[in-house]
Structure 1
Amino acid sequence: MIGFLGPSSTWAYSRQKCPDGRALSLEWPPGRAIGPLKMDQIPSLDFAMYLTNTVRFHLGQLYHLFHEKTFMDGLHEFYARGPQAEPLPGGHLWFVHFLLIMGFGQALLSGSMGNRPGGSELISRAIELLPNSFGLYQDPILSIEILCCLALYLQSIDHRNSAFLYIGQAMRIALSQGLHRELIGGDLTEEDVKRHRAVWWTIYILDRRFSSLMGAPNMIHDEDIMVSLPDFGHKSNFSKSLTLHVALSRLLASVLENVYGKNGELGLSFLENTQEVLRNLSGLASDLEESFEFRFDHSGPTSRVAATLNLYYHQCIVLATRPLLMCLIREMLENITAKRKHRQLAAPIKALLKTSQESATKSLRILLSLQSQHLLESFLPFDLESTFSSAFILALMAIIPHCPFKDVTEIDTSFYLLNQMIARGSFIAEFRKDELERLLEFLRLLNVELSATTPVEPQLGYLAATATMNVAGHFTQDFDQTKQAAQLPPPLEETSAVSGLSPNQMLSLAELLDHDTAISQADLHWLWTSTGVADRQGEAMYHVGEVTDTWVPG
């Protein structure tokens, strides 16, 4: 099955049409009747509780996939009556949910076995038992939890189209129940309201995340949402993490809707929209540092939740600045074809590229820290996508003429991380590794062409074209070593995942772009060196940043 990918998709930058569901196989009814499970496929009570806790640990602080009391009451009742391979009377939907949680837990524990994901037998049977739309509406809230759980599992095994369909179905049910608005009246208890809100915002987060991966529009606009975040008490980690998770998802939606052009081109309002993203990021940086700071200096326990939120933050930066990078790559290719001289980058553009480079580097170092604590995810898709997109950005940045940021050593880190995921059974990581190797080989050949056609123009602060990032040296002499990945990546120098991040400096970077919004952007002249005040300010800001290394977010 081939799925089209929009311009904002991470995958679209390695291929425009992406095979779906090729990495791991899953039995799909009615193509093949699954039939009742064997009793030895049903986990024992103690193992079922362990699998439930596994799902809770990996996902419970960031998503609402099941209601604690309702699910656990059903679990104990199910085993008290003697476990069955088929649903009990009146418990059809709960049994489907049970199979999904058990299958998800098995996958999180064991990853993939061969080309079959962990828990696939239970998941396939759950899909076969999933009722039609009428049956789902018998308990719409439980059905939404089921669909969210199924969608996230399918996303994790690279069945992206099916995952996108199921999260869309969950969203439609939620909208038809009015979950996007405050529920007033009726016989809802306070616990019901909390559950409904948590369900809604989980759909919202997954819809935004899946849309960004597919490059598809978001299903609902923020101005149409009038429901509050759930309040589980001011000391609740779930309330804090969900609030930030929603804010990051909202920012991601803004990036996709406003920064990316409808046809994949830089829109005329690109700079203005990028400014708005930077301003929003400055506020989120303070919240992250206050509640979910991720540190590298071993001064405290490594938090998986803090890592996930910080990775999401840096992913927003990478996505916001990536169209600019692709525009520069296209300009470079056109210059090579026309044998034109490569122009100098304007200082504000250097500042944006530096921001992107820092976020990509920080993402890889967060992931490396997680790996050292055995917290790197090999089944859930988001660590893998952060690894791939960060390496992709760093590799492309290394080939752009007159770009000051040509350090490819962190690409070794990405291969190390991919190899660790592969060793834990991630077939999908093998696909991404192959794509990254193909990209590096293409850039190696492109660099040969670039070196042959571009005269040497030494520039202070970055490597000359013929010395390309040791580009020529690294991509030719050390290319095989890069593909294998160093066993011990470079040590971390920063102490925090947002070290050096100043909201005021982020705002200054946004204001630095103001001068460009007053001119015509149709010809993209604003990308190159000018003699304006803002450019001189940007150059000064850039040089100060090189000395202090404190102005760049991330």
Structure 2
Amino acid sequence: MVENIPDLEMSDSVAARPRKLASKGSRRGRKPTSCTQCHLRKQKCDRNQPCNRCLQRGVAHLCGDSTAANGMTKASETPQAVAVSQPYASSPRPRRAIQPPMSPRLGSLFANRGSRAFYGSSYFGHQVAARILSEEGQDLPSGISRGRDTLQSFRDESSSFAQVWDLLGLLPRQKSTVDRLVNIFLAEVNWSLDAVHEATFRSSYDEFWGRRFGFDDLANVDLRWLGLLFIILAFGVLLDTPPRLTLDVQREREEASLRFYWAARRAIVIAPSFYGESTDIVRAGLLVTRYLLHTRRVSESWLTIGFASRMGQAQGMHVDGERWRMSRKATEQRRRLWSHIYAIDRMISLALGRPYAIHDEFCLTHEAENVWLDDMGEEEAACVAPQPLNMPTPSVLSFLLYRLAKVIGKIQEKCFGLERASYEAVLQLDADLVMWSEQLPPYFRLDNPDIAGDATLPFLPFHRLYLHTSFHFARIILHRPFLLRESITDRFRSSHEACMASALADLKIRLGTMNSPTADNLRWAFGAHNLFNSAMILGIIAVKAPHSAQAGAILEDLEAYCENLHRDPWLNEFGMAELKVIELCIAKARDARGTLPSSYPSGSPAEPPGSRGNAADGRGRLRPPDWESPTVSSDMSSIYWPTVWEDGQFSFPGAADFSTWEQMISDIAEDSYVGPMGQ
């Protein structure tokens, strides 16, 4: 029928029948008053440009006039209508009105199960990015409604909402208890770690407690933020301790803290199934990693920092915020957060000898600037200039750790990869570490730092500790394979001295921070010294060279350290295992200093080692000339540990594996020939 022929797609035969068309006039019926997107979905549109529904769906760039898009205009007002009413006039063939294709710019957002996605022109391709450029309203995730039909699913054990129901049941019943734990964390720890943005966290906190309880209770719970709340409560319980701590109270606090910790782990694992990623889940993963470092569970922390880095990459944190055309304030916050993830990922991986999660070739990041914008508005933050380095802000820690982590990554790639590095490469990397330390500002110097600003800037002492312990950690790991290695030319002396100097400096820091108030102990515990134990390194040095000039002072410091550990009420099973290993080293070294080593031939004069001439054995180490080469036993126990120690891929056994430590220390004691370390 003629009525079914579109006005804008007339054929020649239609133009030949002008009277019939003219009599019918323009089409009648409902006229579209919605934009293109609302018209397709048959939704009511507010006719704004863009409309509110397109903003909520994240498709503002697709919002357009449906009338113009369909090419539907009044026949009496278009040139085509004139051509119909005047059929014998020469006129061009009408064409359909077509909108030009829209290519979304880098960072454009599209709705995706309550999160966002960006489809950029970069080679990274599609990557999920929740709330990167816009914090406007979102649709509910797929499958979540707010009607009464969801009431049964809330309590159904087979429903996904049962997970949320269980997690909410782990919160303290009284809001005042949660308030106290959150306030003590924000007041005592948050400012030293840059853990959360306090204003943003409190806004979400008020929204969480102010939600309307009822049928929509669980649908409004953001598990990403709930995981962040749980790990903050885990720290808050440890901080909320009475001045005089009894054993029962201490155990009660530890159990409560662990319950909140496991609740946080559970929440951040489940959250991606409900929503997309967010900054909250990244910060929660980072705090969970710091909690594990505090409790010395380093192996487990490797998994959680990998999770946090993946969540950050899913939001595009591996690409600088300027490339996403984000605000300066948001860009600086993401830079600091990414720097902390990057540094911890590199240090944990180096400590365990495992691959790290973040690779530089896939990152386009910039260092954070020396400016603090968190307390400013967007317009003010965009105009503030960075401060000089002699006027520190909390951001200084971020980019200094980021630079050190770059060197740590090179150490792992060149020295602890699949191929063994040359000693010249080790010395070059040590020079890079020294260069980093020489570029530190005066208030962060390794030796005699300027502490004049500590009173007005309370974060400086703790940031100084984090930088110093990270440096000593990296330098000890770099030189550790050469700690027991000796040569006629004494070419490994620099490694012996570097290991000893960094281990002594780190132990001095630990002795100075022990038996401090609970909050201080918790802040100190976030340093890199919890990734390894410098006391173990010093204990092995004392066992290797018990008659050296430094051995007596080292043993005294180790004994003082053990006494402090015995008085620590928070010492867990991991700390007890390390304490037992250190005491074993002290006993072996004391025994060697008090008696002549049993491995000397009988009838030898009781003279101090090193008083006679030395010759080299088959492995290039120094030994007395009249000392017969030891017979190799069937299990090779006499040469096993010194040989394994020299392997670049060797790492310390777990502290809880006491039998392995006992065998290693005994073999080192038996193999402790006089060399450069004992002179």
TM-score scaled by length of structure 1: 0.63
Kindly state the Cα deviation for residue 254 of structure 1 after the two structures are TM-superposed: 2.2
- Once residues 401 and 420 of structure 1 are traced to their aligned partners in structure 2, the CA distance between those partners, rounded to angstroms, is 25
CA distance, structure 1, for counterparts of residue 324 and residue 236 of structure 2:
36
State the 1:142 CA deviation: 2.0
What is the CA-CA distance between 1:214 and the residue it aligns to? 2.0
SS at match of 2:367: coil
Q: 1:372 to 1:165 in 2, by over 3 A?
A: closer
**How much has 1:322 moved relative to structure 2?**
0.7
8 Å CA contact 2:546, 2:592 repeated in 1 = no
Secondary structure of residue in 1 paired with 2:316: coil
Distance across 2 between alignment mates of 1:411 and 1:118: 38
1:316 to 471, 474, 496: 474
Matching of residues 87-166 of structure 1 within 5 Å: 89-108=220-239, 110=241, 113-114=250-251, 116=254, 119-132=257-270, 134-135=272-273, 138-166=276-304
2:403 corresponding residue in structure 1: 247
What SS does the corresponding residue of 1:113 show, helix, strand or coil? helix
Task: Single out whichever of 69-78 and 416-425 deviates more from structure 2.
Answer: 416-425
CA displacement at 1:225 relative to structure 2: 2.8
Q: Distance in 1 between matches of 2:310 and 2:178?
A: 35
CA displacement, residues 111-158 of structure 1 (integer Å, 9 cap, x when unaligned): 993383562232233333335363475243222112111222233334
User: The residue matched to 1:188 in structure 2 has which SS?
Assistant: coil
Q: How does 1:168-247 map to 2 (within 5 A)?
A: 168-184=306-322, 186=324, 188-231=326-369, 232=371, 233-234=386-387, 235-247=391-403
Q: In structure 2, do the counterparts of structure 1 residues 314 and 289 end up closer, same or farther at CA, with 3 Å as the change threshold?
A: farther
Distance 1:458 1:271 in 2: 30
Q: Are 1:407 and 2:551 an aligned pair?
A: yes
Counterpart Cα distance in 2 of 1:256 and 1:53 = 37
- Counterpart Cα distance in 1 of 2:432 and 2:354: 22
| Equivalent pair of 2:462/2:523 in contact (CA under 8 Å) | no
Identity within the alignment, %: 17
Is structure 2 residue 585 aligned with structure 1 residue 439?
yes
For residues 228 and 419 of structure 1, the distance between their equivalents in structure 2, rounded to whole angstroms, comes to 45
Deviations 1:304-331 (A, max 9, x none): 2212211211222211111001445xxx
Q: Which runs of no fewer than 5 residues in structure 1 stay unpaired? A: 1-28, 329-342, 467-527, 530-538, 547-554
Paired position in structure 1 for 2:169 = 36
Is 1:457 aligned with 2:601?
A: no
Task: State the partner residue of 2:182.
Answer: 48
Distance in 1 between the 2:449 and 2:281 partners? Answer: 44
Give the equivalent residue in structure 2 for 1:303: 461
Distance, in Å, in 2 between the alignment partners of 1:124 and 1:251 is 34
Separation in structure 1 between the aligned mates of residue 505 and residue 353 of structure 2, nearest angstrom: 24
TM-score normalised by length of structure 2: 0.53
Deviation, structure 1 residue 349: 1.9
Q: For residue 138 of structure 1, give the secondary structure of its aligned residue in structure 2.
A: coil
Tell me if the contact between 1:363 and 1:386 (Cα under 8 Å) persists in the aligned partners. no
Q: Which has the higher contact order (CA 8 A, sep 6+)?
A: 1
Asked if structure 2 preserves the Cα contact closer than 8 Å seen for 1:255 and 1:277, the reply is yes
Mark the structure with the bigger radius of gyration.
2
SS in 1 for 2:492: helix
SS of structure 2 residue aligned to 1:377: helix
SS of residue in 1 equivalent to 2:483: helix
CA contact (8 A) 2:292 2:298 kept: yes
Counterpart position of 2:200: 70
Instruction: Describe the shift of the 1:42–1:325 C-alpha distance in structure 2 as closer, same or farther (beyond 3 A).
Output: farther
Give the number of aligned pairs: 415
Deviates more, 1:306-315 or 1:406-415: 406-415
Deviation string for 1:267-306 (max 9, x for gaps)?
A: 2x33122122222122222233524136679975581221
Report what 2:438 is aligned to: 286
What amino acid maps onto 1:259 in structure 2? C
* CA–CA distance in structure 1, aligned partners of residues 393 and 439 of structure 2: 13
C-alpha separation in 2, matches of 1:384 and 1:227: 24
- Where does the alignment leave 5 or more consecutive residues of structure 2 unmatched? 1-161, 372-385, 455-459, 614-621, 625-673
Q: 1:435-475 deviations in whole A, cap 9, x for unaligned? A: 22233445566776845427743289xxx999xxxxxxxxx
Query: Does residue 275 of the first structure (1) align with residue 406 of the second (2)?
Result: no
- Contact map agreement 1:357 1:405 (CA 8 A) in 2: no
Counterpart AA for 2:503: A
Amino acid at match of 2:610: E
Q: Residue in 1 aligned with 2:414? A: 258
Change (3 A) 1:276 1:36: same
**Are the structure 2 counterparts of residues 298 and 288 from structure 1 closer, same or farther at C-alpha, using a change threshold of 3 Å?**
closer
* SS, match of residue 179 in structure 1: coil
Cα pair distance change 1:383/1:134, threshold 3 Å: closer
In 1, distance between residues paired with 2:206 and 2:555? 48
Is the 8 Å Cα contact of residues 296 and 369 (structure 1) preserved in structure 2? no
**What's the counterpart of residue 369 of structure 1?**
512
1:239, CA displacement in angstroms?
1.9
Please say if residues 167 and 207 of structure 1, whose CA atoms lie closer than 8 Å, have aligned partners that are also in contact: yes
Separation (CA, whole Å) in 2 of partners of 1:169 and 1:93: 13
Once residues 58 and 305 of structure 1 are traced to their aligned partners in structure 2, the CA distance between those partners, rounded to angstroms, is 7
Return the letter of the residue paired with 1:75: Y
Cα distance in structure 2, aligned partners of 1:213 and 1:129: 28
The amino acid that maps onto 1:52 is L
Q: 2:473·2:528 contact (CA, 8 Å) conserved in 1?
A: no
Instruction: Give, as a single letter, the amino acid of the residue that structure 2 aligns with 1:49.
Output: N
SS in 2 for 1:453: coil
The separation in 1 between residues aligned to 2:322 and 2:523, in whole angstroms, is 40
